[in-house]
Amino acid sequence: MYSKELRVRIFPVALGKVIYHASTSPNVEVAGLLLGKETRGIVEVWDAVTGPQEGHAGYVKLNEEVMAIVAEKLMTLGLDIYIVGWYHSHPGYGLFLSAIDVRTQLAYQALYSKSIALLIDPSKFIEHGDITDVAFKVFRVDGKLGVIEVPSSIGMDRKKVLESTLAALKGLNIDNSFLLQESPLMFDRAKKALVDVGKKIFRREVVSKK
């Protein structure tokens, strides 16, 4: 079932960071936060951040203080974005929200009614090294506790942009707590490395069919 009321637009930089995080932990679930804003019925995901967490092959829990730290940093920096949801990985076992995931998503929706859950399975990408093998979907939970898939797009030239993003991130040697030590979105090295990527974003949309 698809959402008819909401769409999601994901900056390739944000998706690239989610892929980077998930692919560096191929046997363990990982999680993080999605940052962005809502514009005319479209939730735009500009960035992804993460921090300390507890996880294994079938479970992950982001430490509670991570959300507070990120929210405070966004306010301190005066950035016109906020937490619009969360992401986590299901390495090798499909894209769906478990019962625990549904409860987690409802908690995010209680904080921000249009919150989304981005789910990623990096297993085929890790195996073959082809960015087009990355599987991801975006979900929400409706008032009847039904899981709804939300249509998402990431801009033009998906393959080239994501490959460029991942190459830039690897070159920056960002670890799995990326951006808790740096300013979200605007940390200088990444901004310079990804400026050419940013110029290509959203000239036209390519709807995700994953």
Residues 93-127: tens digit of each pLDDT: 999 999 999 999 999 999 999 999 999 999 998 88
Q: Where are the domains of the chain?
A: 7-200
pLDDT at 25: 86
Provide the 8-state DSSP code for 153: E
Mean pLDDT, rounded, for 194-205: 42
| Model confidence at 51: pLDDT above 90 | no
pLDDT at 196: 45
Instruction: Give residues with Cβ within 8 angstroms of 73, minimum separation 6.
Output: 183, 184
| Model confidence at 173: pLDDT above 80 | no
Residues 160-169: tens digit of each pLDDT: 777 877 777 7
Structure tokens given for 200: 């290509």
pLDDT at 30: 94
Distance, in Å, from the CA atom of 96 to the CA atom of 184, rounded to the nearest integer, reads: 28
Q: What is the mean pLDDT of the chain?
A: 80
Higher pLDDT pick, 154 / 123: 123
Q: What pTM, to 2 d.p., does this model score?
A: 0.82
Report the Cα–Cα distance between both ends of the chain, in Å, rounded.
Answer: 14
**Helix boundaries (H) for 99-187:** 99-111, 123-128, 158-172
May I ask the CATH architecture of the domain 7-200? 3-Layer(aba) Sandwich (3.40)
Distance, in Å, from the CA atom of 57 to the CA atom of 116, rounded to the nearest integer, reads: 23
Residue 38: strand pairing partners: 43
